[in-house]
Amino acid sequence: MHIYIHIPFCTSKCPYCAFGSHTDKFNLVKKYFQALHFEIKDFLEKNSGEISTLFIGGGTPSSVNSHFYAEIFNLLKPHFSSQYEATTEANPNSATLAWLEAIREFGINRVSFGAQSFNEQKLKFLGRNHSAKDTFNAVKNAKIAGFDNINIDLIYSTKFDTKAMLEFELENIAKLSVPHISAYSLTLEENTPFSGKKSYKKDSIRLDEFLFSHLLELGFNQYEISNFSKNSFLCKHNLAYWEQKNYAGFGAYAVGFKDCARFYSPKSVEAYIKNPLLKTRESIDKNALRFEHIFLGARCKIGINAKFLNQNELKNAQTLAQNGKLKLENSIFYNPNFALADEIALFITSQI
Ligand SMILES: C[S@@+](CC[C@H](N)C(=O)[O-])C[C@H]1O[C@@H](n2cnc3c(N)ncnc32)[C@H](O)[C@@H]1O
Ligand code: SF4
């Protein structure tokens, strides 16, 4: 089983972020965790099987005192598989050594810090309320707490990103000595203060390729357009999403997926607390899932399975393979250049 838990609290709201999170609802934390406990207990009573991956995301999981998590882990821990991966997101300024030690003790074995940048001007532009020094401190504390599986989130393609800026980010990444990087191209999300601010973003495939190739030089293999890992530290939870496996989503704003349907929790903390089991079901037709497989497959090392392609798509994929843009192995088309993922998926799905 794959499980996602959403924590909708943050100590400040970043102007680019469209995730479900609030800075003024900490008074509801206790009730929220009671509702989460209720929902998870109900799920575990109705579903058997081991939990192979768990992801606690947000929002900012580290903005909530660790003791609130204890009872949830009492429920979950007995179901962890022997090789389970349990990740929590955390912000560099709220993940204290005590918090990290406590959640490690509960069973979390992977931590993902939202560093975003090491440049103070870029951090300020992104509205972050932490410094690069806080990120170094948080990673040091995570290692002291016993974490070896550590991820750093970065944001690039902002107006500040040049070769020199990316070199600076890469120098700091090298110093941190962590095995995983998630580097996201800035998205100007609707209904955020960054919405429509085209001048805030700089799109350049040349800069993207510069970042990807230099991460490779540091030993990070790109296994998805935004994800890079050393050795075997790939994020198993994300791989499950990209393989379109079933997963359960708990908490306000959470989404789950099961057998061709998505299940949406209430998009309000209060509504979720009132009825933690309420879900809106959206069925997804097989064709939409097939399309999703093509777009996801072009973006990651899972590739695009020929058996999901219709005649026209297969012909287009074969054309790309003949031109060296895709590699065909055992009936799976692999994209060797994730910077071109969207163009490749669009070409495969086009009527030409
Ligand atoms: C759920 S968010 C936040 C985790 C944590 N609260 C934090 O900010 O560090 C996960 C990651 O998504 C990325 N992200 C969020 N909004 C983004 C946007 N508009 N464009 C690009 N990346 C974004 C950030 O790198 C962030 O760390
Ligand atoms: S990026 Fe993270 S800290 Fe900032 S508002 Fe979004 S969830 Fe909260």
Distance CA 33, CA 55 (A): 16
The CATH code belonging to domain 2-242 is 3.20.20.70
Select from 11, 298, 257 the least CA-distant residue to 128: 11
How far does the centroid of ligand 1 lie from the alpha carbon of residue 284, in Å? 26
Distance CA 290, CA 278 (A): 28
Question: How many residues can be counted in the chain?
Answer: 352
Scan for tokens 């020094």, then name that residue: 133
Q: Would you say the CB of residue 16 lies under 6 angstroms from ligand 1?
A: yes
Q: At what angle do helices 286-299 and 341-349 cross, to 10 degrees?
A: 140
Scan for tokens 């991820």, then name that residue: 151
Task: pLDDT tens for the chain, 352 residues: list them.
Answer: 999 999 999 999 999 999 999 999 999 999 999 999 999 999 999 999 999 999 999 999 999 999 999 999 999 999 999 999 999 999 999 999 999 999 999 999 999 999 999 999 999 999 999 999 999 999 999 999 999 999 999 999 999 999 999 999 999 999 999 999 999 999 999 999 999 999 999 999 999 999 999 999 999 999 999 999 999 999 999 999 999 999 999 999 999 999 899 999 999 999 999 999 999 999 999 999 999 999 999 999 999 999 999 999 999 999 999 999 999 999 999 999 998 999 999 999 998 7
Q: Would you say the CB of residue 71 lies under 6 angstroms from ligand 1?
A: no
> Where in the chain is CATH 3.20.20.70?
2-242
Which ligand has the shortest distance to the CA of 193? 1
Of all helices (H) and strands (E), which one includes residue 190? none
Q: Cβ(32)–Cβ(273) under 8 Å? A: yes
Q: Would you say the CB of residue 19 lies under 6 angstroms from ligand 2?
A: yes
Select from 237, 286, 244 the least CA-distant residue to 87: 237
Q: Which residue stretches of 177-310 are H helix?
A: 205-217, 236-242, 269-274, 286-299
Q: What is the DSSP letter of 53?
A: E
Q: Would you say the CB of residue 266 lies under 6 angstroms from ligand 2?
A: no
